[in-house]
């Protein structure tokens, strides 16, 4: 079994597991014991193909204690339902996938401590108003999602010049302070 790209780092009593672009990564994940997983707080699976199935070793107990989960570039077209067990998440990085929307269960009640959400470089069609309801969310990136509604796209694309523009807009929408622009098409005959 190849562990060349596996980088466990011990910081105090907190372990960071980083797996990056390893063909046999799912097998490498299974090689860890429950005791080793019990110390994991930051998990980086960036570039690991998770389009087939969710790794069985990432149990609800393991997920519930994660503070940081990086699933960037994992070929996800939907957010795996298992992720909703990661109720202590502060950071969720989902950039560079094929996501078109967040699931209905992606709500502040599930992730009450979420402060960072990266949805850049996906195929997002719209962002749920629930994104604006996360009380601790301080960073939201949805750049390079060409299918977002016009208003969301304008605010997402301004993000590099005006950090926080999209997040402010989504919070205003959630609070009813602004009306979301609806997408429509005109057919000329």
27-69 confidence digits (pLDDT tens): 677 777 777 787 889 999 888 888 888 888 889 999 999 999 9
The answer on pLDDT for 3 being more than 50 is: no
CB 92 within 8 A of CB 103: no
Region of 11 please: left (phi>0), alpha (psi -120 to 50) or beta. beta
Q: Are 24 and 7 in contact (CB under 8 A)?
A: no
At residue 2 the predicted structure's pLDDT band, cuts being 50, 70 and 90, is very low
* Vertex 186 angle, CA 184 and 189, to 5°: 160
pLDDT tens digits, one per residue of 132-188: 999 999 999 998 888 887 778 777 766 566 778 888 888 888 888 765 454 444 455
Residue 26: pLDDT band with limits 50, 70, 90: low
CA distances from 169 to 99, 100, 129, 173, 178 (A): 21, 20, 10, 6, 8
Q: Write out pLDDT tens, residues 88-129.
A: 999 999 999 999 999 999 999 999 999 999 999 999 998 988
């Amino acid at each position: 079994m190849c562990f060349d790209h596996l980088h466990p780092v011990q910081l105090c009593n907190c372990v960071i597991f980083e797996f990056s672009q390893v063909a046999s990564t799912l097998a490498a994940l299974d090689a860890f014991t429950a005791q080793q997983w019990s110390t994991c707080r930051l998990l980086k699976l960036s570039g690991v193909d998770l389009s087939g199935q969710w790794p069985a070793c990432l149990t609800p107990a393991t997920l519930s204690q994660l503070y940081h989960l990086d699933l960037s570039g994992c070929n996800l077209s939907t957010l795996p339902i298992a992720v909703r067990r990661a109720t202590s998440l502060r950071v969720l990085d989902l950039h560079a996938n094929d996501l078109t929307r967040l699931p209905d269960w992606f709500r502040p009640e599930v992730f009450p401590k979420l402060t960072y959400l990266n949805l850049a470089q996906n195929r997002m069609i719209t962002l749920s108003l629930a994104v604006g309801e996360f009380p601790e969310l301080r960073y939201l990136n949805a750049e390079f999602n060409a299918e977002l509604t016009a208003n969301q796209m304008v605010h997402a694309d301004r993000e590099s010049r005006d950090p926080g523009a999209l997040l402010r807009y989504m919070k205003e929408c959630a609070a009813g302070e602004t009306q979301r622009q609806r997408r429509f098409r005109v057919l000329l005959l």
